[in-house]
Amino acid sequence: MEHDEMVRLHHAGDLLIGIDRPAARRFFTRLSLEGIAGLIGERPFIEWFTVRSSFALFHLATAASLVLAVLAFRWFALIVVPVTIAFMALWWAASSTGFRRLRWPLLLLIAAVINLSFFASVGKLYVGLWFLVLTAGIFLITFTYNSAGFFLRLLVLRNERAYRLCTERGILLLRRAG
């Protein structure tokens, strides 16, 4: 299918565009901005920076949550740290599928911000900070995959070279609506 026809069908509501989220995340995190420009002839700085930053901040939040777990739970951190690592790994894997939306991670993050004052008032500031940073990590990895898929879909719609690249590499799934 030609690019112009794909765009026309999509805008008419007759074609659904699916993007492989892990491939989209790798596209923005493994390629330099110059590398992307060389492949598609466009420098999508905002998209590239957003995905890379959220992915890096996820790793930072995960590491910080482990440190805060030790400060918050002391000897119980021997249990909490491995559970936290396993939970974050499972969430990371689930975030790469199309089933993770931002609603629940965002609500959880808001709840963590609100609960921080409660934890601080009862002398458990590190517990509140651990929960806040953990939920920030959950939000960030979900946001990384959602934004990577969204941005690559927009690139495919506006850039014929991106469309050809994604079609050749199997990143793009086109399906007739209805």
- pLDDT single digits (tens) 96-150: 887 678 899 999 999 999 999 999 999 999 999 999 999 999 999 999 999 999 9
Residue 103 identity: R
pLDDT of residue 101: 83
**Residue 87: per-residue pLDDT:** 95
Distances (CA, A) of 159 to 3, 88, 100, 134, 154: 8, 35, 27, 37, 8
Q: What is the pLDDT of residues 23-72, one digit of tens each?
A: 999 999 999 999 999 999 999 999 999 999 999 999 999 999 999 999 99
Average pLDDT score over residue span 72-83: 97
**What pLDDT shows up at residue 170?**
87
pLDDT for residue 17 = 92
User: 133 and 65 in contact (C-beta within 8 Å)?
Assistant: yes
* Mean pLDDT calculated for residue range 169-177: 85
Helices 160-168 & 125-158, crossing angle to 10 degrees? 110
Confidence of residue 161 (pLDDT cuts 50, 70, 90): very high
Q: What is the arithmetic mean of pLDDT over 154-164?
A: 96
